[in-house]
Amino acid sequence: MVPAVAIKGCGCGKDVIMMRIVALFGLLAAFAGVLPWALPAAKTGVRLVAARDDPPALADLALDRLDPAALAHEAQATLDAGDAALAASYLAVADARGVAVPEDLRGGVAAAEAEARSTWRQMRNFGAGFVTGQPEDLPGFAGAALGDFMVWGDVRDASREGWKLARGEEADELLLGLSAVGLAVTAGTYATVGIGAPARAGISLVKAARRGGRLSAAMGATLVHAVRESVDFAALRRAPERVAALDGAALKSVVRADRVRDLGRMLSDAGTIEAKAGTRATLEGLRLADGSSDVARTARLAETKGPQTLALLKSFGRGAFAVTGAILSLVWWGFAALVWLVGAIATFNALCVALVRPLWRRRAGRTTMRMHAVHST
């Protein structure tokens, strides 16, 4: 016979089990309620981790969070502001993602681009780029690049900054070093060390970004360090006029052929951005970049996205080609989704155990009663 105390304890145990089951059911229901949010967050987190070294994929992730209607709105706003190049870039993004754009907006952008390509405006921008070396569009860049190819731009900068250095005044080492390298490339002195046409274009663009204050502090420091490694400023201080005159011996004594490769790689990446996405995108990328790796990432983005690059850089900043704090938050949401998954599985497992446990206890109770009966006999 089972003692009364045991029977009473068994009743209390049933109440505890029922309370546990109800609590676990409630917790599992709460996990189920979060399911529509948790799965997309986990999927996005996994995609972000997979795309951390793929700038075009990162840009696509950023676009996934953008309201499609915002593309047409931004295109219209930039068109109203007179920026036909940026408006056209937004239209390129919209077309790539299959977003419908009003025909009047498309026509307005086409008309603005046609006006920008007018002969007079192109000649004006070309001349401004040639004289000042500060391009704003393709004709302006063509003028600045022609000025450097014709030695005018590099001679102008090398002479001005070189004489400052020779007189002990503060000179812009980046402009001076790039001009010396540009003169060496133009003279063909270092054509065999990997410095070619893309780097030549990159020199003009970086100089333009420097003059216009469009280089980030970190990017400027990176380029100055690379220039110091590539150019012997002590030798340049001794013979600035010979360098400006394309003196082959002076160029060989100033530009270090064995160290110019890293600088050439950055300049080539800048030239690639210009060739694939245009002058505006290149200047914007140099403004956002923190170092050579960012320039390389932007070049990869431009190679894939082409005319969309400017709009992507304007809309998402560094998030268009690198994992930033705003994008990194998606990883934490993905981590939270993983915690949810583990919690849901653990709760379901505990619920199953709680449901089956009374059967185990009932069987154990019957076994105990049989043992008592055997002993009593």
Q: Evaluate whether residue 322 is within a structural domain.
A: yes
* pLDDT confidence bin for 84, thresholds 50/70/90: confident
Residue type, 353: V
Q: What is the pLDDT of residue 161?
A: 78
What is the distance between the terminal CA atoms of the chain, rounded to a whole angstrom?
11
Rounded CA gap, 297 and 51, in Å?
12
Mean pLDDT of 246-257: 71
**Range of weakest confidence among 8-12, 53-57, 272-276:** 8-12
**Paired strand residues for 255:** 231
Note down the domain range covering 336. 4-52+328-376
Q: Evaluate whether residue 44 is within a structural domain.
A: yes
State whether 118 and 140 are in the same domain: yes
Give 211's Cβ-side CA count (13 Å radius): 21
State whether 47 and 159 are in the same domain: no
Rounded CA gap, 323 and 291, in Å?
14
Place of tokens 């950055």: 266
Q: Are the CB atoms for 59 and 316 separated by under 8 Å? A: yes
State whether 261 and 335 are in the same domain: no
State whether 46 and 82 are in the same domain: no
Q: What is the pLDDT of residues 128-149, one digit of tens each?
A: 666 655 565 556 666 665 655 5
State whether 348 and 253 are in the same domain: no
Q: Give the domain-ending residue among 300, 326, 352.
A: 326
Q: Provide the number of structural domains found in the chain.
A: 2
State whether 45 and 110 are in the same domain: no
The 3-state DSSP class for residue 97 equals coil
Q: Evaluate whether residue 58 is within a structural domain.
A: no
Q: What is the pLDDT of residues 50-74, one digit of tens each?
A: 667 788 988 888 888 788 888 889 9
Mean pLDDT of 200-228: 86
State whether 45 and 104 are in the same domain: no
Rounded CA gap, 159 and 171, in Å?
11
Rounded CA gap, 224 and 237, in Å?
17
Is the Cα torsion angle 211, 214, 220, 226 positive or negative in sign?
A: negative
State whether 175 and 259 are in the same domain: yes
State whether 128 and 139 are in the same domain: yes
Judged against a pLDDT cut of 90, whether residue 336 lies above it is answered with: no
Q: Evaluate whether residue 57 is within a structural domain.
A: no
Q: Evaluate whether residue 178 is within a structural domain.
A: yes
Q: Evaluate whether residue 230 is within a structural domain.
A: yes
Q: Evaluate whether residue 195 is within a structural domain.
A: yes
Residues 6+ apart with CB under 8 A from 216: 286, 287, 288, 289, 290
State whether 279 and 356 are in the same domain: no
- The distance of Cα 247 from the centroid of its chain, to the nearest Å, equals 41
State whether 315 and 241 are in the same domain: yes
Mean pLDDT of 265-281: 90
Judged against a pLDDT cut of 60, whether residue 93 lies above it is answered with: yes
> What percent of the chain is modeled with pLDDT above 70?
58
Q: What is the pLDDT of residues 39-55, one digit of tens each?
A: 666 666 666 666 677 88
Q: Evaluate whether residue 145 is within a structural domain.
A: yes
State whether 100 and 23 are in the same domain: no
Q: Give the domain-ending residue among 306, 326, 346.
A: 326
Mean pLDDT of 278-305: 92
Judged against a pLDDT cut of 80, whether residue 350 lies above it is answered with: no
Question: In terms of residues, how long is the chain?
Answer: 377
Q: What is the pLDDT of residue 182?
A: 81
